[in-house]
Amino acid sequence: MPARSTVRDLAQIAVFAALIAGLSLPGAIPIGSLGVPITLQTLGVMLAGAILGPRKGTLAVTTYVVLALIGLPILPGGRGGLGVFVGPTGGYLLGFILGAFVIGWCTARLLPRYRILPALLVTAIGGIVAIYLIGIPWTAVSVGIPLDVAALGALAFIPGDLIKVVATVLVAAAVHRAWPGLIEPKPWPWATATDGTDAGADAAPEGSDDQAYAPPADRDDRS
């Protein structure tokens, strides 16, 4: 990889890690009794995946999480350190990494044409489903409540997260129009398999009637 590209990638990763930290500054809105507040962090996570892609987006979120883990006060309320991760919000913080990767991976397969409706779907899958997949069980274990109770408690976050999904897609659509090439387009796995099957179907199998007929060489029957 050229040095210039490496420097640019590192700069983008650092900027989005700082963005997520900056979105944590307004603080948190406590809701319910589970100890999981409403924050703007998820918006930064979604933006990182949708704009930077699976590799750089995941690295940006991982950088943010690691800095919080080692004690930097960059979580809502100026918190940081290992104690936060063993609490009810720890699973959501780890889920941020998976969410950014899922959004980035899917977004790379929506490009170069970033259609709004598919983008809303994949951003919701990564920004809500993937994060909750880790966050809800973690909350249930840390608080000591049944999984279904933790899941019902998480429903309160859905409206706000859906708003973040819409905001992310609108911003990402504008960014990809203005600066195409931030994410390298990739095919869906089943599209690649289909292309390979079609290509194989176009080639006539050995011994088939479609092969060109070659007349036998004339024999010399003279003794």
pLDDT for the residue numbered 196: 53
Contact criterion met (CB below 8 Å) for 123 and 50 = yes
Q: Is 79 exposed, middle or buried (0-12, 13-18, 19+ CB in 10 A)?
A: middle
Distance CA 195, CA 198 (A): 5
Contact criterion met (CB below 8 Å) for 13 and 62 = no
**b/e for 179-189, b at 16 or more Cβ within 10 A?**
eeebbeebeee
CA dihedral 108, 114, 115, 121 (to 10 degrees): 40
Supply the DSSP string of 25-68, one letter for each residue: TT--B--SSSS--B-SHHHHHHHHHHHHHHHHHHHHHHHHHHHH
- Paired tokens of 121: 């779907």
| Percent of the chain clearing pLDDT 90 (strictly above) | 64
Whole-model pTM: value is: 0.81
Contact criterion met (CB below 8 Å) for 141 and 169 = no
pLDDT for the residue numbered 40: 86
pLDDT for the residue numbered 195: 56
Contact criterion met (CB below 8 Å) for 83 and 55 = no
3-state class of 209 per DSSP? Answer: coil
Please give the CATH topology (third level) of the domain spanning 8-190: Arp2/3 complex 21 kDa subunit ARPC3 (1.10.1760)
pLDDT by residue for the chain (223 residues), tens only, comes to 556 568 999 999 999 999 999 998 875 565 655 555 667 899 999 999 999 999 999 999 999 999 999 999 998 878 889 988 888 889 999 999 999 999 999 999 999 999 999 999 999 999 999 999 999 999 999 999 999 999 998 888 899 999 999 999 999 999 999 999 999 999 999 986 555 555 444 444 444 444 444 455 544 444 3
- Paired tokens of 63: 């950088």
Domain coordinates in residue numbering, the chain: 8-190
pLDDT for the residue numbered 30: 57
Nearest to 72 by CA among 25, 136, 142: 25
